[in-house]
Copies of this chain bind each other. A is one copy, B any other.
Amino acid sequence: MNTPVTADQQAEIDVLRDTPQSTLRAVAPGMEQHLYTAHPVLDHGFVRVVDYMGDDAAICQAARVSYGRGTKSVQNDEGLIRYLMRHWHSTPFEMCEAKFHVKLPVFVARQWIRHRTANVNEYSARYSILDREFYIPAPEQLAAQSDINNQGRGEVLQGEEAARVLDLLREDAMRSYDHYEAMLSQDGQQGLARELARMNLPANIYTQWYWKVDLHNLLHFLRLRADPHAQYEIRAYADAMCQIVADWVPAAYGAFKDYRMDAVSLSAQAVAVLQRRLAGETVTQESSGMKAREWREFEEVWG
């Protein structure tokens, strides 16, 4: 079971959640309910909202560069947000900001950090000692290498092979950590510098960070990382964050779903093929102007 938060930490969160304060700022009720609460992800990870700024109305306010909230109805706000999303206007969405505290395996952190337009403060293993916590995949996530996709997964491993993999991952993690502690120890010896000892730790050890990002860049992150082609482990975090964003800015999230997540981008060739099909023509790969691989991807959506 995932119990990422200790009893002490939970007590501290409870205190924070019990002491509302007065503010003149815009408040997003759907986001307030998430504040500080750790949403479990994977076996020891979590995502929790530490702070936020703005709401759906702030997006419209920036788009209108108007004084105050104006007199527009929520209906109009939603229409404007959908228009902005459909036409790739990004700056109004940059006016909202969220700050997350995330606990995640290092190999997930390495993918995540490739998104550069965000602010990060990570736990420092130069300065401090990491905890003995490692990601070990659940059995249903223990997948074989895909035959057709170099960076994908195939079927789930079964039986002895699965057991052997789990044993290796667990044993290597524990042994590495034992040796990490042994090298650090100042008991009867000097003790290796922390900044060196950490190099012995495998990529499934957990780290944590504060990650702050504006809504435009957050949605871009979610588009790529909540996608079925993303590695499952980072997708688990993206999925949890999708739920949070849906509660925070429901209109923007709805537009994002329709115009990004569930949208389809058609190449010039694909547009032509669809237009010919709509006119009653039967189009084959040969007559489509597409290469085999692209045609296969096209057929997955359009049959």
Contact = CB atoms under 8 A, between A and B. Distances in A.
A246 interface: no
Contacts of A242: none
Contacts of A133: none
Contacts of A257: 268
Given A121-B91, A122-B65, A208-B65, A200 B146 contact: no
A69 to B, nearest CB: 8
Task: Report the copy number of this chain in the oligomer.
Answer: 4
Given A91-B120, A192-B165, A203-B200, A17 B24 contact: yes
A210 interface: yes
A145 B20 CA distance: 43
A116 interface: yes
B209 A145 contact: no
B53 A52 contact: yes
A108 to B, nearest CB: 9
Nearest to A9: B67
A47 interface: no
A247 interface: no
Given A21-B23, A24-B20, A199 B202 contact: yes
A154 B193 contact: yes
B144 A190 contact: yes
Interface string A1-31: 0000000010011011101111111110000
Contacts of A168: 179, 182-183, 200
A243 interface: no
A63 B150 CA distance: 14
Interface string A144-169: 11100011111101000100110011
Given A95-B210, A146-B193, A175-B175, 16 more contacts: A16-B24, A17-B24, A21-B25, A24-B35, A25-B32, A25-B35, A65-B121, A91-B120, A143-B196, A144-B190, A145-B184, A157-B190, A176-B202, A258-B268, A263-B271, A264-B265
